[in-house]
Amino acid sequence: MRLTKLQSGLWGAVVLALLGVAALRLLDQGAPVTDQAAFRPEFALADADGQTRTNAEFAGKHLLVFFGFTNCPDVCPTTLSEVAQVMDDLGEDASRVQPIFISVDPERDRRLGIAAFTQAFHPSILGLAGDDVATRAAADSFKIFYERESDPNAPDGYTMSHSPALYLVGPEGDWLRQFSYGTPASEILADLQSRL
């Protein structure tokens, strides 16, 4: 009788282990979404001059898209610096790539001067700051997260929490992949060069 209980327990553990392995494989299969053209992100947002810019006008170019805000203390400046290095290192191929910075804090960023902010990193980076509805639509289209958070130590008493990745969109509008925060410019450059 004892042996049967022990055997049942062992078989139960084996079944649980197999289910765990199967679940991990399923999760693992879902993880490389970063390398699949899973969807076509869209945006329609105002530039610094108030002109609405859409993803459609950049057809034929690769887009490097980053969501952030001008008061960001670390993630945004670091990523935009990497993008600037990529644009410099692309040389003549730089004309085939459009870097875009989309503000998740559009009202404040328009007031602070989004164009001056992006131009400080590289003249080719286009800063966009739409209204709240258009910003939310763009973020949802790219499947990114952002929200305002109270912070008494931050300018105006708040900061913005947001997804920190850099997104690559292909010349036909397909989302190609994302580069996680901290990806060196050399890796982004190598990926882009393999596609141009």
State the CATH number of the domain containing residue 121: 3.40.30.10
Does residue 67 share a domain with residue 7? no
**Inside any domain, residue 38:** no
* Total of domains in the chain: 2
Q: Please provide the average confidence, as pLDDT, over all residues in the chain.
A: 86
**pLDDT over 70 percentage in the chain:** 81
pLDDT band at 19; cut points 50, 70, 90: very low
- Separation between Cα atoms, residue 65 and residue 138, nearest integer Å: 11
Domain that holds residue 105: 44-195
The predicted-structure confidence for 83-119, as pLDDT tens digits, reads as follows: 999 999 999 999 999 999 999 999 999 999 999 999 9
Does residue 106 share a domain with residue 64? yes
Look at 60 and 11; give whichever has higher pLDDT: 60
pTM above 0.95, yes or no: no
The predicted-structure confidence for 140-156, as pLDDT tens digits, reads as follows: 999 999 999 999 999 99
**Inside any domain, residue 6:** yes
**Inside any domain, residue 71:** yes
- Separation between Cα atoms, residue 97 and residue 122, nearest integer Å: 13
Number of other CB atoms surrounding residue 164 within 10 Å:
21
**Inside any domain, residue 39:** no
Look at 27 and 186; give whichever has higher pLDDT: 186
**Inside any domain, residue 54:** yes
